[in-house]
Amino acid sequence: MPKAKTLFFTSIKQVELRESELPDLNEDEVLVETLCSAISAGTEMLVYRGQFPNLADVHDNLSSDLNYPLAYGYACVGRVTETGKQVDVSWRNKLVFAFHPHASAFIAQPSSLISIPESLSPETACFLPNMETAVNLVQDGAPILGERVLVFGQGVVGLLTASLLREFPLERLVIVDNFELRRKALQVEEARLKVEGFAPHDLRPSTFDAFDLTFELSGSPSALNDAIPLTTFSGRIVIGSWYGQKRAEINLGGAFHRSRIKLISSQVSSISPELSGRWDKSRRFDITWNALEKIKPEKWITHRFALNDAAKAYQLLDGNPQETIQVIFDHTT
């Protein structure tokens, strides 16, 4: 029987690989050998640092009842190498995406897999969850012609969100991040709309006309406090960060009380009720694949690690995040 290595978070800032034999395929299952998997730095660093809460969220099985030891991750790309007797043979050798923890191989039912368009590389397909998140964020924010838009955080989700936003006929698009590498990632590219990048300490309410639409994607709860005075009367703040157990004092007194600012909670596991009559997950995935084809975010992979070197990958993200954008595991090495 084939063996598989699976990455486990075992305690705070500790990871290990555990090898086990895979069971025989059931007739309705397939074997997937992983080619690459992407680290979702925001969520996985909460797990790595022990900053995640225990959840019971019916909308998101991945983040429910989190406890060590924990196999985690949700961006695996691989190839189907074996199929059960009841599975259509067309699945064999197919390139697929799975919301599955980091593992060298795994068994799944075809219904849990997503076929990857032939035009996309495996590494670009690793960005599927974050791009779907970006699509969801933009849909929830619903930017309007001529608006001024601000994006806190230029990790992968923030970069992808800003990439989508710069296709809109906005008056202004400003991004904010602590790290120069991330601030410059979009500024070096030609686009219809110029992207302006700032460090948080350079962003003051007196410097700008207030923003109509603000996205808080930094993962830092204090950034929400910064977003409020920068957002105009009756503006919207879309909160896409998952803070886990991190806390910060938020000033909802003073100007906020009269500002009529709308705080919008946005999370990709569900579709906004206002859109759910017209949109479903399948339609959103179609848009997500098209966006990946256009933006080609593979260019933002800064580091590739073998799965055996997983500890080094998380140490890098924990200690030197300013050097990284997207970190992936290359399972072929």
Q: Are 266 and 216 in contact (CB under 8 A)?
A: no
| Tens of pLDDT, residues 229-277 | 999 999 999 999 887 777 878 888 877 888 999 999 998 988 999 999 9
Residue with tokens 């969520």: 43
In this structure, of 114-123, 168-177, 207-216, 294-303, the range with the lowest mean pLDDT score is 207-216
Residue 207: pLDDT band by 50, 70, 90 thresholds? low
The structural domains of the chain, ordered by start, are 3-116+298-330 (3.90.180.10), 129-265 (3.40.50.720)
Rounded Cα distance between 79 and 330, Å, is 14
Give first-to-last CA distance, the chain, whole Å.
21
Instruction: Provide the pairing of β-strand 30-38 with 76-83.
Output: antiparallel
pTM given for the model = 0.92
